[in-house]
Amino acid sequence: MKFLRLGIVLMVIVLIIALAGVSVGKLARHESSPSRPAVPDAPAARFNTLETQRFRLDATQSKFIAHAMAGGLFWFKGHDHLVAVREFSGEAQFTPEQLNPASLEITARSGSMVETSSVFTDQQKQIIDKELREIVLQPDQFPEITFRSTQVEGRKSPSGDEYELKIAGNLTLHGVTRPINIPAKISVSGNDLRAVGEFSIDRDDFNIKATSAFHGLVRVRETIKFNFDIVGHRI
């Protein structure tokens, strides 16, 4: 009987030691485990990609050219006009993952448009620029050319941060406003945005004259094509 009680006591002691060892082991593993950074929930992780980004257009790093096919009758026959928009400003907005909300606004100074084609001499360019101001664009009456988008559609390229967009909006030129569509390829690198594309207008839609009573240097066909390579910086 004495040996039976002693055996029971020893079993209880062993059980207590075993339980204590398990508790100590768990505590040691808990204290030795490295701390892990908190994982944000899904909405917080997606916030930046869904945020609308704004970019201010930079005319000094951009090109905006009006390509007018030649239609002259005199010694400039056969030469195209390449008229550059030297001064413009504006802002582009878009949301990277879902594109919209997105918008584009551009305001150009009509008096800043000048002939740049290398086929003309400096003297010829001066005559053309004079006719552009006094007869064709008339910046004293219509100092600004504006575009305001009304809808932006498109898709993101699977290759990276590039987008193919179709920008619908209203172009105001020479005092006349008409709806136009502008296809453009957009790329984003760091804080810079680049938009490349072209679109065409019919000059008759905007009451733009194509001939001159003085020299006949500015004589173009009905369709005028615009090429642009515009850079913007994140605001």
Sort strands 113-115 and 162-173 into parallel, antiparallel or unpaired: unpaired
Can you say whether residue 189 is alpha, beta or left, with left for phi > 0 and alpha for psi between -120 and 50 degrees? beta
Beta-carbon contacts of 225 under 8 Å, excluding residues fewer than 6 positions away, are: 66, 67, 68, 69, 198, 199, 200
Contact 232, 188 (CB under 8 A): no
**3-class DSSP state for residue 160?**
coil
Phi then psi for residue 13, to 5 deg, are -60, -45
Look at 17-31, 46-60, 85-99 and tell me which has the smallest mean pLDDT: 17-31
CATH number for the segment(s) 53-234? 2.40.128.110
Distance separating alpha carbons of residues 138 and 135, to the nearest angstrom: 6
Q: Bridge-partner residues for 148, per DSSP?
A: 105, 170
Each residue of 1-27: pLDDT tens digit? 444 454 444 454 444 444 444 444 443
The full DSSP string for 101-158 is EEEEEEEEEGGGEEE--TTS-HHHHHHHHHHIIIIII-TTT--EEEEEEEEEEEEE-T
Position 50 pLDDT exceeds 80: no
pTM exceeds 0.75: no
pLDDT at 140: 95
Distance separating alpha carbons of residues 28 and 103, to the nearest angstrom: 58
pLDDT at 216: 54
Each residue of 114-165: pLDDT tens digit? 999 998 889 988 988 888 888 888 999 999 999 999 999 999 887 777 899 9
pLDDT at 210: 65
Q: Bridge-partner residues for 155, per DSSP?
A: 164
Selection from 23, 39, 65, 26 nearest residue 196 by Cα: 65
